[in-house]
């Protein structure tokens, strides 16, 4: 195992995890998981491959990696975006204090240390949260968003089918479970429990809901006024088996990149035989 990064929990967020570079290159990649996701596990091999195999991924030498966790089930986009924006403001204005609190054994960085580039990598519902956080920061007049780049995997910014699935599951006849095998019955019970506890987040996933309409309209307004290219995604990636979110263009985003043979969950999880997600993030550094 390479010793290029120091792994440590991070207080902001929900089970967030940081990998601080021992020789920093003034670049940070911030991962934002999707609906019902978790800070690290949602991203497959990103957390094990990038810090531990610098010879295979030289562009990530010196790059700080932060896997951010939040409650994607029970909180509305506005709430989650507010918290994420607060973290990004700390990272882009005064990162040294946050890093030192997180990893006191790490050699202190220079007093003037700051990031020249923040790459926000978001999956599914996390794309809505991330876009809202960056848009709000831009509209508030902060200058740091101009140093950001967006890489989005299966973004839900044009709506998803998950809330409709929730409605169907919760209104299914009671005798359906009796016809299932025990494994399927447990799976359905788990899904129904998740849906019951996620009605607030689901409101922001409906196609053409107010949250998504306003987010796109305000993004287009800022783009038309100029100096807001950082609100355009650097890259948008879908799997060709996508069946959860609407894979249609948002604002001025580029045409999507399609990974064959992958579904909504798999598209953001690299492994030694599938490095496409890593290549997309590296291109934004």
Q: Are 41 and 27 in contact (CB under 8 A)?
A: no
67-91: pLDDT as tens digits: 999 998 889 999 999 999 999 999 9
Q: Which domains does the chain have, with CATH numbers?
A: 5-160+207-282 (3.40.50.1820), 161-204 (no CATH)
Higher pLDDT, 255 or 185: 255
104-152: pLDDT as tens digits: 999 889 989 999 999 999 999 999 999 999 999 999 999 999 999 999 9
* Structure tokens belonging to residue 201: 């987040």
The owner of tokens 């990149």 is 257
* Structure tokens belonging to residue 3: 């010793």
160-175: pLDDT as tens digits: 985 443 433 343 344 4
Q: Residue 167: its pLDDT value, please?
A: 38
- Number of Cβ within a 10 Å radius of residue 185: 14
What rounded mean pLDDT belongs to the chain?
88
Entry pTM:
0.88
Q: Are 170 and 196 in contact (CB under 8 A)?
A: yes
User: Measuring CA to CA, which residue among 190, 94, 77, 176 is closest to residue 135?
Assistant: 77
Q: How far apart are CA 249 and CA 257, in angstroms?
A: 12
Q: How far apart are CA 73 and CA 2, in angstroms?
A: 36
Q: Are 224 and 232 in contact (CB under 8 A)?
A: no
Q: How far apart are CA 259 and CA 117, in angstroms?
A: 26
């Amino acid at each position: 195992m390479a010793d290029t990064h120091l792994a440590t929990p991070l207080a902001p967020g929900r089970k967030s995890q940081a990998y601080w570079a021992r020789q920093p290159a003034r670049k940070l990649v911030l991962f934002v998981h999707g609906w019902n996701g978790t800070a690290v596990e949602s991203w497959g091999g990103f957390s094990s491959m990038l810090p531990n195999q610098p010879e295979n991924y030289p562009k990530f030498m010196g790059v700080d990696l932060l896997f951010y966790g939040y409650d994607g089930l029970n909180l509305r986009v506005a709430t989650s975006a507010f918290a994420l924006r607060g973290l990004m403001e700390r990272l882009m204005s005064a990162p040294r204090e946050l890093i030192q609190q997180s990893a006191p054994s790490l050699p202190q960085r220079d007093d003037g240390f700051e990031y020249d580039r923040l790459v926000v990598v978001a999956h599914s519902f996390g794309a809505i949260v991330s876009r809202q956080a960056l848009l709000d920061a831009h509209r508030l007049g902060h200058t740091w968003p101009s140093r950001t780049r967006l890489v989005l995997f299966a973004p839900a910014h044009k709506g998803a089918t998950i809330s409709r699935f929730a409605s169907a599951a919760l209104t299914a006849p009671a005798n359906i479970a009796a016809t299932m095998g025990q494994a399927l019955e447990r799976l359905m019970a788990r899904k129904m429990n998740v849906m019951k506890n996620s009605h607030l987040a689901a409101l922001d996933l409906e196609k053409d809901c107010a949250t998504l309409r306003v987010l796109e309209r305000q993004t287009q307004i800022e783009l038309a006024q100029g100096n807001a290219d950082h609100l355009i995604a650097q890259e948008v990636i879908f799997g060709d088996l996508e069946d959860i979110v609407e894979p249609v263009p948002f604002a001025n985003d580029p045409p999507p990149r399609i990974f064959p043979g992958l579904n909504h969950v798999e598209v953001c999880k690299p492994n030694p035989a599938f490095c496409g997600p890593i290549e997309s993030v590296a291109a934004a550094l």
